[in-house]
Amino acid sequence: MPPTALIVGQSVMKAFQHLSTQDLHTRRVEEAYRVVAECITAVDPAMRLYMFGSTAVYGVHEKGSDVDFVALSKTDVEDGKGEDAGTQVAKGLQAEFLGKLAKVVRQKHFSWNVEEVRRTRVPVIRVKGGSSVDFDITVNRRNGVRNSALLRAYFEQDPPCRWLSMGVKRWSKRAGLNASVVGGSITSYGFNLMVVYYLLQRGALRFIQPDAIDVANVAPVPPYLPLEPPRNDGAELGEQILDFLAFYMHEFDAARHVISLSRPGITTKEQLNWTKNAEDLARMNGEKINYQWCIEDPYELNLNVGRNVTPLKRDFLRKHLEKARETALLTTT
């Protein structure tokens, strides 16, 4: 017999017990913001620093989570709905700025580990700041700020939904599904898109047009959004978790449909031309893109956030969805 919704909810609550004694206020990362902003100013005083990723999405900072930063120019911010340039020239300029920034960070904080990552889709520097927080810094890219603000706007409609998101994220990391762990294939961001898509399909959230999100209206440091304990002792959370798992196991048609926040209702692979043909074409161009588990990025043109999900990884995901029901998202073991 699989555990009841109440047991699932309470088990997941227990896994997050440590949060009740933690200071989750976003001011805890303001120090990191100040330090990074100082380094940015040393490279170019006209650049502005924005925080995005989980701290912005949830409005709380979980200990151990990295912080995502992006340096934006005045024009980037003013043209807050503009598309990010994906050209090699743009990437080159970004890498150049980040190279200078890495130098400054190393000078000012010689004990920190600063790594320039160039081979990713987006140039980034990854800083491990010893006892303080770790962070990623990118430049001239609005999409991260926009997609975080979009996810946040959804969670603000029903703040307790953050528990579902946090439960799923924790599970994805422990199960080896999350791209941040070895063998993982979907980022936390991808799992958040899955959570929100599920809630939209259930009518638990109202659709938000992605184009409505404007960087010019987003706070550089995300405001704190207090996290209250789950409602009715976790029973509701447990029901939501079981329903989320059932949705992706039995209802979502991975062979034909796309997880998407770009438009209300159903999006098909056919519609986006995310087909076997497109997979083969990409392969001929030396890219490995899979359209097995499709998650449409609301801002990046033609980008499958689930592109690393091979047929094997998709089966692995299904197996874990199954197992998650028995183990309350891997919190009982």
Separation CA 296–CA 271 (nearest Å): 12
Instruction: Kindly tell me which residue out of 94, 140, 148, 327 binds ligand GTP, with binding defined by CB under 6 A.
Output: 148
Position 107 contacts ligand GTP (CB under 6 A):
no
Q: What residue 187 binds from Mg ion, ligand GTP, none (CB within 5 to 8 A, per partner kind)?
A: ligand GTP
Nearer residue to ligand GTP within complex by CB, 65 or 332: 65
Is 189 an interacting residue with respect to ligand GTP (CB under 6 A)? yes
Residue whose CB is less far from Mg ion, 61 or 307: 61
In the DSSP assignment, the letter for residue 263 is S
The footprint of ligand GTP on this chain (CB under 6 A) covers a number of residues equal to 20
Cα 102 vs. chain centroid, distance in angstroms? 24
Token pair recorded at residue 164? 């579902």
Does residue 305 interact with ligand GTP by CB under 6 A? yes
Partner interacting with residue 303 (select from ligand GTP, Mg ion, none; CB below 5-8 Å by kind)? ligand GTP
Residue 214 contacts residue 45 (beta carbons within 8 Å): no
66 binds ligand GTP (CB under 6 A): yes
The reply to whether 66 sits near Mg ion by the rule CB under 5 A is yes
| DSSP three-state, residue 98 | helix
The stretch among 32-40, 59-67, 74-82, 175-183 that binds Mg ion (CB under 5 A) is 59-67
Q: Smaller CB distance to ligand GTP: residue 76 or 297?
A: 297
CA distance 128 to 7: 38
Cα(173)–Cα(132) distance, rounded to whole angstroms? 22
Among the listed ranges 30-38, 52-60, 211-219, 230-238, the one in contact with ligand GTP (CB under 6 A) is 52-60
Q: Which stretch binds Mg ion (CB under 5 A): 51-59, 97-105, 177-185, 239-247?
A: 51-59
Output the smallest distance, CB 71 to ligand GTP, in A.
Answer: 15
Residues 6+ apart with CB under 8 A from 278: 289, 291
Give the 3-state secondary structure of residue 127: strand
**Going edge to edge, which strands form the sheet with 295-296?**
267-268, 257-260, 295-296
Residue type, 192: N
- Of the candidate residues 35, 58, 68, 290, the single one contacting Mg ion (CB under 5 A): 68
Query: Which residues in the chain belong to E strands, given as ranges?
Result: 48-52, 67-72, 113-117, 124-128, 135-139, 257-260, 267-268, 295-296
Report the residue from 57, 133, 137, 317 that binds ligand GTP according to the rule CB under 6 A. Answer: 57
Helix (H) or strand (E) holding 201: helix 188-201
Beta carbons within 10 angstroms of residue 228's beta carbon:
9
Binding residue for ligand GTP (CB under 6 A) from 9, 80, 184, 190? 190
The greatest distance separating any two alpha carbons of the chain, rounded to the nearest whole angstrom, comes to 61
Tokens of 46: 């006209």
Stretch that binds ligand GTP, among 53-61, 209-217, 226-234, 282-290 (CB under 6 A): 53-61
Tell me: does residue 184 bind Mg ion (CB under 5 A): no
Residue of 297, 317, 327, 331 that binds ligand GTP (CB under 6 A): 297
Q: Within positions 114 to 143, which residues make up the interface with Mg ion, using CB under 5 A?
A: 136
Q: What angle do CA 151, 155, 156 make, to 5 degrees?
A: 115
Residues that bind Mg ion (CB under 5 A): 53-54, 66, 68, 136
Residues that bind ligand GTP (CB under 6 A): 52-54, 57, 65-66, 68, 143-144, 147-148, 180, 187-190, 297, 300, 303, 305
